[in-house]
Structures are given as C-alpha cells and as structure tokens.
Amino acid sequence: MEYENLLDDPSADPFEIARHAAERIAELTGAERHDIALTLGSGWGSAADLLGETTHSIPAYEVPGFSKPALEGHVGTLRSILLPDGRRALVIGARTHYYEGHGVRRVVHSVRTAAATGASVMILTNGAGGIKEHWSPGTPVLISDHINLTADSPLEGATFVDLTDLYSSRLRGVARSIDPGLDDGVYVQFRGPHYETPAEVQMAKAIGGHICGMSTALEAIAARQSGMEILGMSLITNLAAGIQQTPLSHEEVIEAGRAAEARISRLLADIVHAL
Ligand code: 8IG
C-alpha cells in the first residue's frame, strides 16, 4: 500500500521520519543544525522577516512527512533564518491542526522535525480566544500552562513524560525582560474546528483556563518529549464566546491578527534575539 503521507503508515516510526525530514532540511539549507524553532500561528507571520536573513525557503511538502496546508493563510513553508548572532532559526509556517483529522502524528511532526534538526528551544505561537474580560483583541499573552481537552496525546504506548514547567519559566522571564507588561494564562486546547459554546467557555474558566485555542497543547507535549525548552505565546484575537457579547467570526479573527501583526512580530523577534 502506498501512503500519500509517510506518517499515515501505522507501522512507520514517526521519529525516524522526523530524522529524515531533518536530514532533508540540512541538505536543502546547507545548515548542519538549527538552534531554535518557531511555529508562527495566526497574526505572528511577519516575525519571520524581523528575525534575520532568510537564506532558504522550502515548500513543506518537499520534506518527508509534511503535507499541503488545509487553510488559506497558513502558508506551508519552512524557512531557515540566519540570526544576527550566527544562530539559525527554523520557522515553521506549516502547522497541521488536530481538527484536520489526519491524526496526532501529523500534528506534531513539525515539532519532532525541529528537535531532530538540533533545536533546543521551541517557540509555539497561535491566535486564540481570551477568557479574561480585560484582554482586548490584539493582546499578546504568555502561556503559563495548558489543559488538553482533545482527549488525545502525541505519545504512544507507555511513554510517561513529566509536564511540570512545560512552558519554561526561564523563557517567560526572557519574554518579560523585553515586555514587562506581558500577562499570562492557562491555554485550553479544544478539538475545534467549531468555536466553543458560551457554556464550554465557562467550563474552561471554572477549571482554571484563560485562553481557548485549537493547537498548541499537543505540540508542546511532543516538544517536551523531545527535550526542548518551550515558549508559548497566544495572540488574543477575540474574547471567547459569551465573554464577548457578539458572535465570533473567522474574518474578524483574521482582521484582529492583521492589525496586531507588526507590533507582536517585533516583540517576538526581540524575544528571540534576547534568548
Ligand atoms: I483565533 O475563541 C481563535 N482560535 N478554541 N476559541 C478557540 N480557538 C480560537 C478562538 C476561540 N479564537
């Protein structure tokens, strides 16, 4: 049987595919290793341009295990960027969401590939809904912890991984050295792709959540399994359902991301340069 994506073969080893992906990236970029990796979600895309010199732009589907993105605006490109101090960043513009239904192996493949390229820091960014009433659309916040409501895990078999300080307090400290005003919150990953009902948002609040999203938690677990240090940041593009009184629209969310993009991208680039 031929699989369109190698990861869809249940007998394949996802870590071996990630190693092949990393080898391909090394081949295409001529860079033996990457030091830091970033997944840029809604609103964060232009950070790539501010990080340094993009030396290579690779269509993700040229790399083993990656597939074409489902959503417009989620550009399926991997960029190798030379930072001013000589470090190399791998920018992943090819996030696969859990709600696409291709399974969790595909969701975390980019993170495992980043680890296989040598990256020791994984920066995960996203656009998300805010539960704290005083957050306004366009507010960037640090993820302090998460609650995974997907009822799934990227870990297979009896793999017990500690998730204490999953979102590194050291890296949050670096972020706050750039912007001391950064608030933080607990990210709640829902399966999506529908937004929450107001009752679900109240549940998320009652169990200790502050940010509603559809991506980062599963990726963070895989990043921790691979030994990376994790910085998570959400752009609050909307207040979560029922917290804001008007209905949520995908167009509004995209527009809020666009309006905040230059500001938060500068912030993120400054954080990376300070790491
Ligand atoms: I942008 O309100 C964005 N992504 N689950 N809820 C969830 N995901 C989101 C939201 C939101 N806004």
Q: By alpha-carbon position, which residue is closest to atom 4 of ligand 1?
A: 128
Q: Are 216 and 108 a contacting pair, CB within 8 Å?
A: no
What's the CA-to-centroid distance between 196 and ligand 1, angstroms?
A: 8
Asked whether the predicted pLDDT for residue 155 surpasses 80, the reply is yes
Identity of the highest mean pLDDT range in 198-212, 234-248, 252-266: 198-212
Report how far residue 189's alpha carbon sits from residue 212's, in angstroms, rounded to the nearest whole number: 6
At residue 117, does pLDDT exceed 60? yes
pLDDT in tens, 67-105: 765 555 555 899 999 999 999 999 998 789 999 999 999
- Read off the pLDDT of residues 139-150 as tens digits, 9 standing for 90 and up: 999 999 999 999
Q: What amino acid positions are annotated as catalytic residues?
A: 196
Rounded average pLDDT over 24-40: 96
pLDDT at 257: 86
Domains along the sequence of the chain with CATH: 6-274 (3.40.50.1580)
Please report the atom of ligand 1 found closest to the CA of residue 241. Answer: 2
| pTM of this structure | 0.95
What is the CA(213)–ligand 1 centre distance, in A? Answer: 5
Tell me the mean pLDDT in the region 25-34.
96
Instruction: Scan for tokens 């990796």, then name that residue.
Output: 37
Mutate to test the pocket of ligand 1, among 139, 187, 196, 258 (most ligand atoms within 8 A of CB): 196
Q: Which of 71, 212, 234 to mutate to test the pocket of ligand 1 (most atoms within 8 A of CB)?
A: 212
Enumerate residues lining ligand 1, CB below 6 A.
42, 127-129, 190, 192, 195-196, 212-214, 237-238, 240, 248, 253
Whether 25 contacts 78, CB under 8 Å: yes
pLDDT at 69: 56
Structure confidence at residue 70 (pLDDT):
58
Ligand 1 center to 133 CA (angstroms): 15
- Looking at the predicted structure, is the pLDDT value of residue 253 above 70? yes
Q: How confident is the model at residue 1 (pLDDT cuts 50, 70, 90)?
A: low
pLDDT greater than 90 at residue 54: yes
How high is the mean pLDDT of the chain? 94
- Kindly state the percentage of the chain with pLDDT values over 70: 96
Ligand 1 atom nearest to 240, measured from its CA: 2
pLDDT, tens digit, 9 for 90 and up, residues 163-221: 999 999 999 999 999 999 999 999 999 999 999 999 999 999 999 999 999 999 999 99
CA-closest residue to ligand 1 atom 7: 213
- The rounded Å distance from CA 193 to ligand 1 centre is 9
Q: Which of 59-73, 95-109, 256-270 has the lowest mean pLDDT?
A: 59-73
